[in-house]
């Protein structure tokens, strides 16, 4: 254990030394069209913020003790969990602080794309409902997606893939679902390591605790009473007792800010996570809406911030601009500038951070260059794996630059 802590201190020393030598501390692939010099977190009200997050992070890095929850919200850019997973791996690998996987959704149950590193299998007929689809009427939790079955007997299983994928074992599972008399019963497929089962009706989940760690889970859904009509699955939280970073990614294809305001169970479920830092990347779908209203966009974000602060008043926020995009592959989406201004306003209002990804990637029309270099898809909206990973590296780099500045200021204050 001592060796682990010594390595962390050595890493921090090298990291701070590197800060003095170049403007971009995290070593990432270089492209001539990326504005690396603009890759910083901007704060408008204070010279330094994220003080709560960085204080907690600094304590975790130096002592190896503690748990930090980061949440990233978005649309399809986040549902695929490539950008967010790159962030997760950067935190885990660079600081050896894998605190577990956290909130997760078995997207395959809802008939939509699943992140690559875990498999989902099931029996029975399941239907998916997304907060982004206006005609879908359902109850949603923090994930914004619900898998529903009316089959009296059904199952689902989630399993992390082989040795070439990250290791996310767990000894506690929270399953978010309806807990009233209309819901089918949830049963864990036989496991001799089970210690306890607790149902939290106030926050809407069943918690299973084990005396050993697992890499997969399997559940059976049963109808046991004539009053029961369905089973709604809102998501799962896979937790353990390890110290470290838990990076939760919440993304729904096509989701806008108004989509997340449809999530009736958003606040109670986010109370189970109590995020220390929330990274907001919702906006690309707002900007494609015919009647886009920048003021309405800001108001929607104000409501989301208030819901999260209800769960954790000390939570800090990072507002991320839209990426560059085209409408129907042909027309530049100039609303990126309106979103840019709105994100600046939000960062000022909420004393939050602002990350200008639009400028960093090259500004208006730049996604065409990213496409030519194998980083963006032909639709000129989405990115290829290499593109999302580059964005994840850039964001991590910006956060670490700010962390280094935090440590530098803290050190000077101690010396004085």
CA distance readout (Å), 40 to 14, 218, 318, 339, 403: 20, 43, 12, 18, 11
Question: Which pLDDT tens digit goes with each residue over 172-187?
Answer: 999 999 999 999 999 9
Q: What is the pTM of this model?
A: 0.93
**pLDDT greater than 60 at residue 21:** no
Question: Which pLDDT tens digit goes with each residue over 97-145?
Answer: 999 999 999 999 999 999 999 999 999 999 999 999 999 999 999 999 9
16-99+243-416: what fold?
A: Rossmann fold (3.40.50)
List every span in the chain annotated with CATH 3.40.50.1110: 16-99+243-416
Radius of gyration, alpha carbons of the chain:
21
When the candidates are 3.90.550.10, 2.60.120.260, 2.40.50.100, 3.40.50.2300, the CATH number that belongs to 101-241 is 2.60.120.260
Average pLDDT of 230-250?
97
Q: Which of 220, 161, 163 is nearest to 190 (CA)?
A: 220
184 DSSP 8-state letter = P
CA distance 5 to 11: 10
Question: Which pLDDT tens digit goes with each residue over 373-401?
Answer: 999 999 999 999 999 999 999 999 999 99
Question: Which pLDDT tens digit goes with each residue over 361-370?
Answer: 999 999 999 9
């Amino acid at each position: 254990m001592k060796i682990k802590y010594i390595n962390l201190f050595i890493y921090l020393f090298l990291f701070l030394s590197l800060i003095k030598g170049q403007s971009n501390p995290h070593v990432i692939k270089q492209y001539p069209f990326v504005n690396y010099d603009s890759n910083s977190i901007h704060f408008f009200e204070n010279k330094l913020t994220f003080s709560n997050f960085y204080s907690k992070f600094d304590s975790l890095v130096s002592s190896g003790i503690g748990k930090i929850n980061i949440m990233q919200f978005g649309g399809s850019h986040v549902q695929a969990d490539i950008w967010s997973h790159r962030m997760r791996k950067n935190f885990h690998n660079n600081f050896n602080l894998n605190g577990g996987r956290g909130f997760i959704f078995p997207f395959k149950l809802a008939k939509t794309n699943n992140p690559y590193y875990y498999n989902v299998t099931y029996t029975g007929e399941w239907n998916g409902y997304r907060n982004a689809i206006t005609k879908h009427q359902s109850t949603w939790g923090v994930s914004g997606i619900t898998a529903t079955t009316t089959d009296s007997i059904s199952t689902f299983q989630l399993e992390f893939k082989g040795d070439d994928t990250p290791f996310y074992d767990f000894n506690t599972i929270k399953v978010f679902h309806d807990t009233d008399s209309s819901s089918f019963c949830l049963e864990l497929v036989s496991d001799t390591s089970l210690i306890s089962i607790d149902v939290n009706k106030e926050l809407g989940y069943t918690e299973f605790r084990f005396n050993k760690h697992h890499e997969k889970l399997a559940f059976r859904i049963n109808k046991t009473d004539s009053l029961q009509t369905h089973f709604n699955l809102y998501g799962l939280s896979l937790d353990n007792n390890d110290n470290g970073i838990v990076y939760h990614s919440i993304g729904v294809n096509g989701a806008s800010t108004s989509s997340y305001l449809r999530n009736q169970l958003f606040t109670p479920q986010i109370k189970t996570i109590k995020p220390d830092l929330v990274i907001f990347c919702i906006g690309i779908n707002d900007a494609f809406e015919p009647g886009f209203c920048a003021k309405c966009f800001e108001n929607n974000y104000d409501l989301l911030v208030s819901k999260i602060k209800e769960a954790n008043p000390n939570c800090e926020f990072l507002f991320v601009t839209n990426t560059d995009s085209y409408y129907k592959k042909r027309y530049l989406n100039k609303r990126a500038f309106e979103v840019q201004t709105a994100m600046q306003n939000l960062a000022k209002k909420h004393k939050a951070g602002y990350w200008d990804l639009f400028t960093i990637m090259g500004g208006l029309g730049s996604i065409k260059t990213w496409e030519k270099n194998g980083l963006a898809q032909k639709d000129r909206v989405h990115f290829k794996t290499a593109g999302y990973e580059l964005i994840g590296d850039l964001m991590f780099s910006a956060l670490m630059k700010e962390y280094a500045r935090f440590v530098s200021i803290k050190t000077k204050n101690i010396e004085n």
